[in-house]
Amino acid sequence: LALCFSQDEVDELRAEMEEVRDSYLEEEVYQLQELRRELDRSNKNCRILQYRLRKAEQKSLRVAQTGHVDGELLRNLEQDLKVAKDVSVRLHNELESVEDKRSRAEDENELLRQKIIEVEISKQALHNELERAKEVRGF
């Protein structure tokens, strides 16, 4: 099997290949930039968490050394607990809402499946009727 391409076709194929390569490289560069941004965000979050951990460790050491709880620490812990409870309640409510939507979507999907089956049956019946009509007319 011999393949013959004109110079124009070869040039066109080469241009398409370069375009695909350029597109691929652009996508790679974009993904790399996204990964770098994500890494920067993660590093920043890590530094913040390390700072908070050091502060908590220092407060814990003070409590252990002095034997009394810092009022500010107690207020912060109470605030953190309140925020955690609020977030927990909100997430629970969102979960219930999503679960309800999922259940409704499943019910709707089942109805649509039934309709598809009914349409397929009707389609087959009409096809059979058409075939019988063709046979009667002699087509």
Residue 78 placed within a domain: no
Q: What is the mean pLDDT of residues 127-131?
A: 87
Contact in structure between 59 and 73 (CB atoms under 8 Å): yes
Pair (60, 97) in one structural domain: no
With 60 as the cut, is the pLDDT of residue 2 above it? no
Q: Residue 69's pLDDT is what?
A: 66
Last residue of a domain, one of 15, 36, 68: 68
User: What residue numbers bound the domain in which 52 lies?
Assistant: 1-68
Residue 12 lies in a domain: yes
8 A C-beta contact, residue 97 and residue 89? no
Mean pLDDT, residues 7-27: 85
Instruction: Report residue 4's pLDDT band, with 50, 70 and 90 as the boundaries.
Output: low
pLDDT surpassing 70 at residue 70: no
Distance CA 39, CA 34 (A): 9
With a cut of 60, say whether residue 88 has pLDDT above it: yes
Q: Is residue 129 part of a domain?
A: yes
